Structure 1
């Protein structure tokens, strides 16, 4: 019975192809918007980082302001390339590698109000792993035909 229900819910090939760019776009939006926030709300984010139990560790890694700028640049740039399906696997890994320390520094705290944002980031990390493992899917710049001569 359950297999029958699942079979009836399976999308057709055209719908399946549309899911790929939508998944990339919807996943990338949080990075593009959030990364822009690293610039527009820089002071507020620095204040949050200073209140984190990980503030001393962050300062040992580098200047929190510089780290915030760098993570903002990574989020926006890799978010845009992820949405376009350009260098998709590299973009997913860059976003993953940038999101892990941000999640630890900002959301891995004893405050119960951070449980939702913590698990939102964990879910996003899962989405990035899926994109990395499956590749860009349909309607991606990575799928452009290779010009004659073998160079892109």
Structure 2
């Protein structure tokens, strides 16, 4: 038996808009400061995760472009579930590579865990039936 929770749709829109901001800012940083961001990967304790996927500078630029496109899609509510899945796929390796290896600073790790929770909200819940949401 399914149980449904009533949610104010405006709060869902606000959550989506506010959550998209971090990806748009991060994408800008990845694209404008690719060298600096790649150095962070090279200095990370778990840099092997990143190297599994490719050369750090290429990954920084690729993740910046993906976060920009998926973040913009997420912001405007276009294919929200897909955008959230793509952003999750980008955020997990970043979190494992950079934040998990820096256990001395737990704030950024739990920030990313909270962001993942927000993305999971949009992946799990179906907003196709709302007139303001284009899926």
TM-score by length of 2: 0.86
Q: 1:72, 1:33 → 2: CA distance? A: 10
1:1-152 alignment, distance < 5 Å: 16-113=8-105, 115-136=106-127, 139-142=132-135
1:77-124 deviation line (CA, Å, top 9, x unaligned): 1111011111111000000011000001111114412x1000000010
Kept after mapping to 1: 8 A contact 2:50/2:93: no
Report the CA distance between 1:67 and its aligned residue: 0.8
| Stretches of structure 2 lacking an aligned partner (at least 5 in a row) | 1-5
Greater shift after overlay, 59-68 or 19-28? 59-68
| Stretches of structure 1 lacking an aligned partner (at least 5 in a row) | 1-10, 143-152
Greater shift after overlay, 95-104 or 56-65? 56-65
Aligned Cα root-mean-square deviation (Å):
1.8
- Which has more radius of gyration? 1
The number of residues matched between the two structures is 128
| 1:117/1:138 CA distance change after superposition, 3 Å | farther
Kept after mapping to 1: 8 A contact 2:34/2:60: yes
The ranges of structure 1 where at least 4 consecutive aligned residues each deviate by more than 4 angstroms after the TM superposition are none
Structure with more of its chain in helix, by fraction: 1
Report the CA distance between 1:138 and its aligned residue: 6.0
Which protein has greater RCO, CA pairs closer than 8 Å, 6+ apart?
A: 1
1:27-64 deviation line (CA, Å, top 9, x unaligned): 10100111111011212111111111122342232111
